[in-house]
Structure 1
Amino acid sequence: MDFALSNEQRKRTDDLGTAIRDRLGAARPSTPDAHFTRERWRIAAELGLTGLCLPTEHGGQGLGALDTALCLEVFGRACPDTGLVFGVAAHLLACAVAVRDFAAPDTAARLLPGLANGELIAANAITEDDAGSDTGALDMKAAADPAGYRLTGEKSFSSNAPLADVFVTYAVTDPTAGFFGTTGFVVDRDLPGVEVSAPMAKAGLHGCPAGRLTLTDTPVPHAAVLGEVGQGSTIFQHSMGWERACLFAIYLGVMDAQLRQCVRHARKRRQFGHRIGEFQAVAHPIADMRQRLDAARLLLYRACWRMDQGHNDVTEISMAKIAVSEAVVANSLTAVQLFGGKGYLVETGVEAQLRDALPSRIFSGTNEIHRTLVARGMGL
């Protein structure tokens, strides 16, 4: 067992962290409608963040799961706009990975360079009002016609959608086939019948806009099909494996920066003639923050390492997702309490850390779903 990063990994992450702080280190969005701009997206792309695990022949860096996670952890630590970080990670892992691994060669050649260099923004569109992790309950339909398919239906929550150029979406091609009745598609925004709502008002992750996607008899060619017809559920689970393992590394970065902020505050702030860090009521919760962060990091690194070894272990990925998401919520609650009144003010950024942490227990499958997956992995 070797827990040390290689010299190459250390140099890559150190250089990336410096570049992110220099170019994307501005303050986080202060209002719910302060979404990321194309300019900030372009900067993230210039730093290689939109193409971390995409093929080098299409402009990506060709990194594996662990190295992708290490870079996303740095992104989460160095950039205070967690919404932008989340948007880039969702674009890469939920969308570009599906195109990389399942798109027809001509479609991959058309889309991957733009996805890697930031010219294209992708949005994953699967969630509906009555379907999320249950891909067998989707209502969007794909009717075959001589030129391909016509898609009709509505997706209720799609991150990046208001600014997206291409959507990775899933629709029912055979209502009688159950798990094998869903098919994945890539849908260009400029196709007829594509309608995207205005950005939704959200509690957190303000930098990443989310919206509804409505398709009305939208024509897509055969080349837009991902993989084989009926393979949609499998493709979705594949891309979710990458997202659940790698995306949550952004919250490791958030927790790392947050912990350093809390330690600085506890060493500087004085009450009753002492630094507050000298009081066990303050020091012990900070020690718990460190323990949760390190435990979650080890689980996530192990899940990513196993993916790189060819073991797409659902149980280990789910355990990592649960650990990271619950750690970041718990640590953020502690941080707000530690900062007291200032923790409730926008100026410290601590309250925003909590708001950005809360959805981590919901997206990429709720933690309840992941506990079910862990139980199934044990034969229950």
Structure 2
Amino acid sequence: MIDWTSDQIELRAELSRWSEALNADHLERDERGEFSWEAWKLIRRTGILALPFPERWGGLGQDLLTTMYVLEGLGEICRDGGLSFSVTTSMASTGVSLEGFGSAELKDRYLPLICSGEAIGAHAITEPDSGSDALEMRTRAERDGDHFVLHGTKTFVSNGPVADLFVIYARTAPGPGPLGVTAFLVERDTPGLELGRPIKKMGLRTSPMCEVFLDGCRVPASRVIGRVGGGFLVLDHVMKREILFSFVVNAGEMQHRLDRCIAYAKTREQFGKPIGAYQAIANKIVDMKIRLETSRKWLYDTAEKLARGQNVTTELAIAKLVTSESNLASSLAAVQIFGGNGYMTEYGLEKDVRNAVGGPIYSGTNEIQYNRIASMLGL
């Protein structure tokens, strides 16, 4: 395991003072499926959105591992999983793509807004007919002088209803394949961009989602992120960080859940002794601990390799598989340990299950991750 420095530990510990305020009314917000602007204001004040970005654009200049370590702390102290998901979505979808591939003009204009949280970012990749097969996207962008004109529909756009900036992937050359896709930075009020109604979800309800309709949406050519036809280089770069950011938050959530279950198992008595004294309960908690530590190891080991510039295709797929499945198993075990109380909404554990169900689906389904690993094994 990594020996964190005192500065890193202090940076993460600073989040604790925001815990009570961030968690106020989180159950009610989840029930209403409501994004909390008040909670977002608190997130902005924590500075967490600025973690991985250079100081010249208002960032904190932290490396990948430190950013993940603090994001794990967010998962541990924040019970609003949807809010945490919106945080990592904005950071990765828009901030990471701009910092990695944006022109100097785009960085100077937009990165400070992402770092401060004044602007919320979203990325529009998935389409109603293509799903995981992103290469089959039908959204197209046609050159018209010094603009591109976008036509198409995107779905499952996290942060969409509240986003100020969208990174939209569209085909700029005919036929399938990665070379014909380009990434565009599009402002919310751009004519021809229309947002659909918020989509109701099983979990992560406080992170709003919608469709995005593009009908003659004119985007200046200067808003291309990277180069024309290089959109999948941008997407690959972003998705690596998105997976590490969002699933290390899950590791923090698993740590909180584990601590809560241990405390409950020590104090809840049945048949004359604490339920933790029964092997059936103790084994569930031990499994939670093993899954947590396994997830952490895959996430941080993968991040270390990525930071060194190594190919992490296999490691990233395994990290995503292990963490998403561990988080779901952990949430179900917690409900079982708490029994009838765990099934009640007031304990927040059934919400954890609903949130965790999404993990094996978003950021590339686990079935796709299996395919990637098999391909790297030559199968």
TM-score w.r.t. the length of structure 2 is 0.97
Report the counterpart of residue 23 of structure 2 in structure 1.
Answer: 25
Q: How far has the Cα of 1:207 moved from its partner?
A: 1.3
Report the counterpart of residue 205 of structure 1 in structure 2.
Answer: 204
Q: How far has the Cα of 1:367 moved from its partner?
A: 0.6
Q: How far has the Cα of 1:14 moved from its partner?
A: 1.5
Greater shift in the superposed pair: 90-99 or 162-171: 90-99
Q: How far has the Cα of 1:295 moved from its partner?
A: 0.7
Report the counterpart of residue 103 of structure 1 in structure 2.
Answer: 102
- SS at 2:76 equivalent: helix
Q: How far has the Cα of 1:22 moved from its partner?
A: 4.4
Q: How far has the Cα of 1:32 moved from its partner?
A: 4.3
* Residues in 1 aligned to 2:5 and 2:374: alpha-carbon distance in whole angstroms: 35
Distance 1:45-1:296 versus aligned 2 partners, 3 A rule = same
* Residues in 1 aligned to 2:366 and 2:245: alpha-carbon distance in whole angstroms: 16
Report the counterpart of residue 219 of structure 2 in structure 1.
Answer: 220
* Residues in 2 aligned to 1:205 and 1:105: alpha-carbon distance in whole angstroms: 35
Deviations 1:48-81 (A, max 9, x none): 1212111211111122221111111100110111
- SS at 1:360 equivalent: coil
* Residues in 2 aligned to 1:64 and 1:373: alpha-carbon distance in whole angstroms: 27
* Residues in 1 aligned to 2:298 and 2:320: alpha-carbon distance in whole angstroms: 9
* Residues in 2 aligned to 1:251 and 1:72: alpha-carbon distance in whole angstroms: 9
1:186 is aligned to 2:185: yes
Deviations 1:322-347 (A, max 9, x none): 11100000011111111111111111
Equivalences for residues 117-136 of structure 1 within 5 A: 117-136=116-135
Deviations 1:262-288 (A, max 9, x none): 111111111111111000011111111
Is 2:181–2:228's contact at 8 Å kept on the other side of the alignment? yes
Is 1:166–1:189's contact at 8 Å kept on the other side of the alignment? yes
Is 1:66–1:246's contact at 8 Å kept on the other side of the alignment? no
Deviations 1:98-126 (A, max 9, x none): 01111121111111000110110111110
Gap runs ≥5 in structure 2: none
Q: How far has the Cα of 1:10 moved from its partner?
A: 1.3
- SS at 1:139 equivalent: coil
- SS at 2:118 equivalent: coil
Is 1:32–1:201's contact at 8 Å kept on the other side of the alignment? no
* Residues in 2 aligned to 1:242 and 1:312: alpha-carbon distance in whole angstroms: 14
* Residues in 2 aligned to 1:3 and 1:55: alpha-carbon distance in whole angstroms: 24
Report the counterpart of residue 168 of structure 1 in structure 2.
Answer: 167
Q: How far has the Cα of 1:4 moved from its partner?
A: 1.6
Is 1:135–1:182's contact at 8 Å kept on the other side of the alignment? no
1:244 is aligned to 2:258: no
Greater shift in the superposed pair: 61-70 or 111-120: 61-70
- SS at 2:227 equivalent: coil
Q: How far has the Cα of 1:33 moved from its partner?
A: 3.4
Is 1:246–1:304's contact at 8 Å kept on the other side of the alignment? no
Deviations 1:108-155 (A, max 9, x none): 111100011011011111011122332210011101101210001110
* Residues in 2 aligned to 1:152 and 1:171: alpha-carbon distance in whole angstroms: 9
Is 1:241–1:312's contact at 8 Å kept on the other side of the alignment? no
* Residues in 1 aligned to 2:238 and 2:47: alpha-carbon distance in whole angstroms: 20
* Residues in 2 aligned to 1:62 and 1:204: alpha-carbon distance in whole angstroms: 32
Is 2:33–2:200's contact at 8 Å kept on the other side of the alignment? no
Is 1:20–1:75's contact at 8 Å kept on the other side of the alignment? no
- SS at 1:198 equivalent: coil
TM-score w.r.t. the length of structure 1 is 0.96
* Residues in 2 aligned to 1:28 and 1:241: alpha-carbon distance in whole angstroms: 29
Q: Which amino acid aligns with 1:176?
A: G
Deviations 1:297-351 (A, max 9, x none): 1110111111222224111111111111000000111111111111111111110
Q: How far has the Cα of 1:20 moved from its partner?
A: 2.7
Is 2:94–2:165's contact at 8 Å kept on the other side of the alignment? no
Q: Which amino acid aligns with 1:290?
A: K
Report the counterpart of residue 255 of structure 2 in structure 1.
Answer: 256
1:328 is aligned to 2:301: no
* Residues in 2 aligned to 1:117 and 1:161: alpha-carbon distance in whole angstroms: 19
Is 2:82–2:206's contact at 8 Å kept on the other side of the alignment? yes
Q: Which amino acid aligns with 1:243?
A: E
Is 1:292–1:327's contact at 8 Å kept on the other side of the alignment? yes
- SS at 1:248 equivalent: helix
Is 1:32–1:203's contact at 8 Å kept on the other side of the alignment? no
Equivalences for residues 33-112 of structure 1 within 5 A: 33-112=32-111
Deviations 1:167-190 (A, max 9, x none): 011001001362101110011011
- SS at 1:361 equivalent: coil
Is 1:315–1:373's contact at 8 Å kept on the other side of the alignment? yes
Is 1:256–1:293's contact at 8 Å kept on the other side of the alignment? yes
Q: Which amino acid aligns with 2:114?
A: L
Is 1:29–1:207's contact at 8 Å kept on the other side of the alignment? no
Q: Which amino acid aligns with 1:233?
A: F
